[in-house]
Amino acid sequence: MTFVIGPVAVRVPASSANLGPGFDALGLALDLHDEISAEVVDAGLEIRVTGEGRDGVPLDETHLVVRAMHAAFDLLGGRPPGLRLSCTNAIPHGRGLGSSAAAIVGGVLLARALVAGGDELLDDAAAFQLTVDLEGHPDNVAAAFFGGLTIAWVDGAAAAVERLDTDVAVTVFVPPSAVSTEKARGLLPESVPHRDAAVNAGRAALLVAALTGAPHRLISATEDRLHQSYRAEAMPDSYKLLRALRVEGVPTIISGAGPTVLAFARGVADAAPQGWSVHELDVDQAGAQVVSG
């Protein structure tokens, strides 16, 4: 196996999963990006992180990008003698905007790009499967990998995705404090009423239609009964904002496991609680891209 000479860089979008009723299936890529570069060196591991998460991530082999790179290198045929890694992060950590998915997708694509002929040794289907295996569920990594609106699922152990075009403006409200995905998932019940499951199935189908051609249906299409209300105690301010915007007729959801709130609208930034940051974003259409190398 031959490694390329010089640095390689990738640009990976943020993502919002669930989108209300599409629990663990729907994902949307957003034009907020992490940029990650890496270079094979003679020995050792050097990691530099700027931007989001710079004070909270490990700077050793447990760094998520490095773990993803090593998993990809193992599939490609062997690890390099050393790595120099630089991460410029814009995606908030622990906020439900797919920071871990971006790290995993970025690491896998970086490793592939650092190997001569890597695209042939690890095609997109195999690379996507690896990202799902590493993340544990397909919704965020599908959107980060392919861009646009994605419907992702797993048949047995095989990950699959259907990518759809959508052009919708969003506003994300990012609170100052994180909520762990594990904590948010731990609040979900083992079972839900049949009526609620039926409503969500219908709303998820409607949401795909709303995002691909019927935007006037978004307020109904974003209704959820499976997860958001159960998680409210972990993010009461987020749930309060969601309810307030929906009462005003603004299609609004909790992004992923929260606590970020996402509205399918512009001109609502003034609704942000004090201390929250606001980003008005478009859909990222391209997904993760190798931008040099």
Q: Is 95 annotated as a binding residue?
A: yes
- Is-contact 292 8, C-beta < 8 A? yes
Q: Is 156 annotated as a binding residue?
A: no
Q: Is 186 annotated as a binding residue?
A: no
Q: Is 100 annotated as a binding residue?
A: yes
Q: Is 37 annotated as a binding residue?
A: no
The distance from CA 105 to its chain's CA centroid, rounded to whole angstroms, is 9
Q: Is 292 annotated as a binding residue?
A: no
Q: Is 98 annotated as a binding residue?
A: yes
Tokens of 151: 């419907």
Tokens of 235: 């993010």
Residue type (1 letter), 99: S
Q: Per-residue DSSP letters for 226-287?
A: SSTTTTGGG-HHHHHHHHHHHHTT--EEE-TTSS-EEES-SS-GGGPPTT-EEEEE-B-SS-
Tokens of 69: 């790179």
Q: Is 255 annotated as a binding residue?
A: no
Q: Is 147 annotated as a binding residue?
A: no
Q: Which residues are annotated as a binding site?
A: 92-102
Q: Which residues are annotated as a binding site for ATP?
A: 92-102
